[in-house]
Chain A
Amino acid sequence: MIEDRAAVGPEPSDPEPEQQEAQRPPGPARYRWYVLAAVVVALFALPLFRPMISSYNYVLTLGALILMWVAMSSSWNILGGFAGYISLGHSVFMGVGGYVAGVLLYYHGISPFLTAPLGGLAAVALGFLAGFITLRTRGPAFIISTIALLFMFLLMTDNFEYLGGAAGLPLPALPLSQEWLRVPFYYAMLLIALGAIWTAYRVAHSKFGMGLRAIAEDEVKAEVAGVPTRLYKISAFAISAFWVGVAGAIYGYSIAFVRPTVFFTIAISAQMVLMAIIGGKGTVAGPVVGAVLIYAINELSLVAFGATEFNIVIQGTMLVAVLLFFPLGIVGTLRKMNRLPAFLNWD
């Protein structure tokens, strides 16, 4: 109990990283920010190297998708990793973002690049509302209610004429030549991914984030220690919806249509969960590592076996294997072994 009180005490500023750095050899730790800055600069510069990239559009599309998954699994992690409330319906927020931006473009001609934040806010609003109801339960019953939420939205979008029904809404393409078409989407997703990681980082290093961890550890104790658990949980749900909604808005535009089965499918939620868990749920770097890794494996198996159901088998098998043998995920396991490279230690 005393430990818990300390964990949520009035000093939320991050003493943890310094402590860990102190135990580490000082060299690599000092260079950590240089490494990360170099990666970010390289990501921003990538589209400039047009002549040197043979299949330019493919590379940028792939990059944008990886960045989108980074953003989505990082966001999922705020609720599922930090607070320990696993949502299997998070793709609902992607769909809400996609549909808000899609409707504004289809009926009013406003570009999703402008309305994407609105999509995010709509997702946040839904997060508050859904959290208010579903977070009355915990554990399995909560997980189940998130699945029900997802299927409710699938049914509704399938049947609303205004939203185009099951066929969805076709969206006009961006008025750009084919060669440059992927560039804005790439940069948008890059900004979204950085925003999502920044959000996760800020949450992890705040009193709020500590409260969430206390909730994940033992909710009753957290409550006793003075954490406003209900408020924190609902806020975590809402915050974790934002970047997923923004990403959905841009994604819908990039594929030029919104359709219920593109967004409101449990397969997308499954990916977010898989990425966060394989990378290491509850860590800031975990979902990023997981997203890159899973996406790479997906892409490789697509190249090797073609678009078959085999990819799905691989994903399921990976999830089962990681849960049984490395429940902490890559980042969590490496940290436990004290082998985590300093540039991946963001907690």
Chain B
Amino acid sequence: MTNVIQVAILGLLLGGVYALMAAGLTLAFGVMRIVNLAHAAFIIASAYISFFAFEKLGIDPLLSVVFVMPIMFLFGVAVYQVLFRRIEGSKRFGEMTVLLTFGIAIMVEGLLGFAFTGIYRKAAPGYANESFIVDGLFLPQGDILFIPKGQFYASLLSIVLLVALWAFLRYSQTGYAIRATTQNRAAAEIVGVNVRRVSAISFGLSTALAGASGALMSYLFPFFPFRHWQWVAVLLALVVLGGMGSMKGAVIGALVLGVASSFVVDQIGPTWGPMTFYLALFLILLIRPQGLFGKEAPA
């Protein structure tokens, strides 16, 4: 019993981080119909910033969010203005974005490999290898639970950022415009929303979330440039599962699959963890192609 709780806790903590990663991806799809295959490459690029900030300047990876996010926001806005503006309104826009971001991902991967080589990196702040130990409570006598501090802080930060994002989308003027654009781009434009500005900001927010995810990744998971393909496969599975463009779906999908994969790792073996995501993706495509919270078949 204790073991089950332990595994579930680890899964939830993992899911919290996945949720942050997937949130940026689903935001870009929801607002602009951009399927960003470079999202994980952006995460890894941000992880390098946090990693070197920690190694060279001693800045805590969790704190580095403060500057990684603005940097990635500006980067995202620039990428949107330079690349995506050109293909706006092109036929088969969705596919174009996939191919374009595929190219961007390859570029980023190559540049990172060129600059930092392919060796594994992982920042090691003090809390990365420590755990909170819980005993007593409702647990059987003598049993204890471990809550890794690094994962715990990461999930906390992830929750804070997701709540902030939710509040921003819910209550701010810009957030209102973003939601309007998500629901109906043409109608939003008619009622006076500056759709281009909204799109640029949304893409910036999406990459800023990638930046925050990267800061967390820098000490949670070992990373190297080529790794981003594995990550993007997992994140996309999450997003499709939740229903493309649905923020709620992405977060719930991340939590559920985080727990599920952590049970798979516990029962079958660590190498099979990612399989959970791919199998879940195929299963959902068979049963409900539009995803859990998707409204229509994504076209």
Does A266 touch B at the CB level, under 8 Å? yes
Residues of chain B within 8 A (CB-CB) of A9 are none
The 5 A-B pairs with the shortest beta carbon distances in the complex, nearest first, are: A312-B110, A316-B106, A316-B107, A319-B103, A309-B113
On whether the beta carbons of A133 and B233 are closer than 8 Å, the reply is: no
Does A108 touch B at the CB level, under 8 Å? no
Within the complex, the shortest CB–CB distance from A291 to chain B, in Å, comes to: 17
A323 CA to B111 CA in the complex, in Å?
Answer: 20
A145 CA to B282 CA in the complex, in Å?
Answer: 7
Residues in A lying within 8 Å of B, measured CB to CB: 84, 86, 88, 133-134, 136-141, 143-145, 147-152, 155, 158-159, 266, 270, 273, 277, 308-320, 323-324, 327
On whether the beta carbons of A139 and B278 are closer than 8 Å, the reply is: no
Closest to B35 in A: A140
On whether the beta carbons of A155 and B109 are closer than 8 Å, the reply is: no
Q: Which of B11-19, B143-151, B236-244 contacts A (4 or more CB under 8 A)?
A: B236-244
On whether the beta carbons of B110 and A309 are closer than 8 Å, the reply is: yes
Interface size on B, residues (CB 8 A): 54
Report B112-124 CB contacts with A as 1/0, cut-off 8 Å. 1110001000000
Given contacts A133-B282, A134-B285, A148-B236, contact A323 B100 (CB under 8 A): yes
On whether the beta carbons of A273 and B99 are closer than 8 Å, the reply is: yes
Does B203 touch A at the CB level, under 8 Å? no
Closest to A310 in B: B114
Known: A316-B105, A317-B107. 12 other contacts (CB 8 A): A137-B297, A141-B289, A143-B95, A144-B240, A147-B233, A155-B271, A155-B272, A155-B278, A266-B229, A313-B106, A316-B109, A323-B87
Within the complex, the shortest CB–CB distance from B86 to chain A, in Å, comes to: 5
Does B98 touch A at the CB level, under 8 Å? yes
Within the complex, the shortest CB–CB distance from A343 to chain B, in Å, comes to: 29
Does B43 touch A at the CB level, under 8 Å? no
Closest to A265 in B: B229
List 5 A-B residue pairs with CB atoms under 8 Å apart, sorted by A's residue number: A134-B285, A148-B278, A309-B110, A313-B114, A317-B107
On whether the beta carbons of A311 and B285 are closer than 8 Å, the reply is: no
A270 CA to B99 CA in the complex, in Å?
Answer: 10
Residues of chain A within 8 A (CB-CB) of B113 are 309, 312
Does B78 touch A at the CB level, under 8 Å? no
On whether the beta carbons of A319 and B102 are closer than 8 Å, the reply is: yes
Partner of A86, one of B90, B98, B103, B111: B98
On whether the beta carbons of B289 and A136 are closer than 8 Å, the reply is: yes
Within the complex, the shortest CB–CB distance from A282 to chain B, in Å, comes to: 12
On whether the beta carbons of A144 and B236 are closer than 8 Å, the reply is: yes
On whether the beta carbons of A151 and B233 are closer than 8 Å, the reply is: yes
Does B274 touch A at the CB level, under 8 Å? yes
On whether the beta carbons of B289 and A137 are closer than 8 Å, the reply is: yes
Residues of chain A within 8 A (CB-CB) of B108 are 316
Q: Which of A133, A140, A323 has the most CB of B within 10 A?
A: A140
Residues of chain A within 8 A (CB-CB) of B87 are 323-324
Given contacts A141-B289, A158-B271, contact A320 B107 (CB under 8 A): yes
Within the complex, the shortest CB–CB distance from A247 to chain B, in Å, comes to: 22
A144 CA to B286 CA in the complex, in Å?
Answer: 14
A319 CA to B90 CA in the complex, in Å?
Answer: 17
Does B53 touch A at the CB level, under 8 Å? no
Closest to B236 in A: A144
Closest to B34 in A: A140
On whether the beta carbons of A145 and B106 are closer than 8 Å, the reply is: no
Given contacts A152-B275, A320-B83, contact A138 B299 (CB under 8 A): yes
Partner of B298, one of A141, A158, A317, A324: A141
**Within B239-259, which residues are at the interface with A (CB < 8 Å)?**
239-240, 244
Does B200 touch A at the CB level, under 8 Å? no
Closest to B269 in A: A159
Partner of B233, one of A148, A277, A319, A327: A148
Report B271-299 CB contacts with A as 1/0, cut-off 8 Å. 11011011101100110010000000111
On whether the beta carbons of A316 and B104 are closer than 8 Å, the reply is: yes
Given contacts A145-B285, A147-B233, A152-B275, contact A140 B298 (CB under 8 A): yes
Residues of chain A within 8 A (CB-CB) of B105 are 316
Q: Which of B37, B90, B113, B278 has the most CB of A within 10 A?
A: B278
Partner of A310, one of B83, B110, B297: B110
On whether the beta carbons of A270 and B106 are closer than 8 Å, the reply is: yes
Closest to A151 in B: B233
Within the complex, the shortest CB–CB distance from B83 to chain A, in Å, comes to: 7
Does B92 touch A at the CB level, under 8 Å? yes
